[in-house]
Structure formats: C-alpha cells, structure tokens
Amino acid sequence: MTLHVTRYRPELPQWPHDLPLRIAVLTDLHACLPWTGPAQFSAFCRQTNGLGADIILLLGDYVTGPRFSRPMDAAHWAAHLGTLSAPLGVHAILGNHDYDGYRRADLAHGPIEAERALIAAGIPVYINRAVRLDHAGRGFWLAGLGDQFAFAPKRDRRFARTDGVADLDGTLAQISTAEPVLLMAHEPDIFPDVPGRVALTLSGHTHGGQVKLFGKTPVVPSRYGSRYVYGHIVEEDRHLIVSSGLGYSGWPIRLGTKSEIVVIDLGGDRPI
C-alpha cells in the first residue's frame, strides 16, 4: 500500500483568519489481515503523529475488510489508534461498516464493539454530539454525526434516510455560541442538508470511488453518485472535504485512486 498525504488550505467564510488550526484526518481503515493489519496501522499512526496536527479526526469504518481478508481484533486496531496524539486530542465517529452484524434493536444494549474499543483506547466517539474546544485563545465547535446508513440493507444503493442513526438537527442544536463549527460525517450524503452555519464538513466512505476508469468512478456508495466522491467540494459557499481513506472495501484493489491521510490547514499563515 502506497500512502499519500493530501493537503488542503481552504478559504472558509465561516472560519476566522486568526484561528489557525491544522487537522489530520484518517478514515475507512477497514482493519484486516493482510491488507491493513498491525504493520500498516503502525505506519498510519507514526506518519500522522509526525504531521504537526493540532487535532486528529477519525471518520469511521474501522472494520470489515475486503474479500480475501481476515478480521483484526478490535482491541488490537484500537490500541494502535490509541498511540495517535495531538494537542487538541483525537476524536472519532463511526461508519456504516462498524454496524455490520448489528440490528437497530441491539443499540438498546449499549455501545457497539467499535465504539467500545475506541473508548477503551482513550478516544471519544461522537454520535450526534457536539463539543466546544478552546484553541489559540479562541473557541470552535466539533460536531460528530451518527452514521447515516448504519442499517442499510446490503447491496441496496437507495440509502434511505431511515437506515441510519444520524440526527443533524439534534447535533447542531447543541451548539450554543456563534463560534465556527467543524462537522464530522462519515458519508458525504448529508452535505446538501448542512447549513451555512457549519464552516467545514469532513467525510470519507466513498474511497474516492476506489476504482477510477477513464476519469470516471463507476461504483460510488452514495445516493448522489460521483457528486461527492472525492476532494474539496464547494456548493453555495458551503465547504466539504471527502477523503479517499486508507483501506479497501469489496475488493482489495485501488485503480486511479490513492490511500491517503488528509491534512487541512485553516486560518493563519502556517506553511504547508
């Protein structure tokens, strides 16, 4: 696996210039052997810790590797993620594959395994929750959306809104000041509903299409097709960054796409 660092410095209308923040984003790790096992996780974490990020965000899909893979114990992959370190901490949401094997009724019995493993490793997990963080003499809000397609039927590409546990309105209602907001949402499909109040939405899930042929991404797990498949997307002055992630889904191949860690610099004049 060739690992790239993709860097962005977006100009965000809702983010103040005098609030410099470097964000490192890891998503779609799909822990498994032999593709993204202990050696790969160690490399991911070591490289991320060397990027000088103020905050590290994990955007879900820690489990369920591709065909021809073996699962990695949750405590094992979470322990690797527990070695990540940044001044403002490491923060996580869950993805649709983290709910594989669960039914909605199972949520009544407590957190699912991926959430338990992350919490045990010292990483808070956000499911429709927002918190205020202090940084550089200012403050901002970090919001994490519950997964939108947690219980979507397999092979069903309609992705009905009722398939998940996302509550965008309830999440944003927890924000009690006018300070800027970062929103973590595993799937980018929520983006048309995100208000301009949110400075930046961060997503994964699509793997950048994983396979790109002649500039086209024929298979994208989104109700919007390739509209939000990858990169920095701006619609009506609202900003979204979608990472292609680190692991594999379906088949253990990438063609025309890269596994990546994403680094985003907001505000300030820090060189990239």
pLDDT at 264: 98
Q: Is 0.85 topped by the overall pTM? A: yes
Q: How far apart are CA 88 and CA 217, in angstroms?
A: 36
Asked if residue 34 has a cis previous peptide bond (ω within 30° of 0), the answer is yes
pLDDT at 157: 54
CATH for 92: 3.60.21.10
Q: Which amino acid is at 259?
A: S
Q: How far apart are CA 217 and CA 229, in angstroms?
A: 8
Q: How far apart are CA 131 and CA 175, in angstroms?
A: 8
Domain boundaries, position 235: 3-266
Whether 76 is covered by a domain: the verdict is: yes
140-175 burial, b for 16+ CB within 10 Å, e for fewer? Answer: bbbbbbbbbbbbbeeeeeebeeebbbbebeebbeeb
Contact 33, 51 (CB under 8 A): no
Contact 233, 193 (CB under 8 A): no
- Number of compact structural domains in the chain: 1
pLDDT at 240: 98
Whether 165 is covered by a domain: the verdict is: yes
Q: What is the dihedral of CA 79, 66, 1, 60, to 10 degrees?
A: -50
pLDDT at 153: 84
DSSP code of residue 30? -
Contact 98, 61 (CB under 8 A): yes
pLDDT at 188: 98
Ranges in the chain, pLDDT < 70: 1-2, 155-160, 270-272
Whether 271 is covered by a domain: the verdict is: no
Which residues partner with 258 through β-bridges?
A: none
DSSP 211-263: B-BTTB-S--SSTTTTTTSSEEEEETTEEEEE---SS-SSSS--BS--EEEEE
Whether 272 is covered by a domain: the verdict is: no
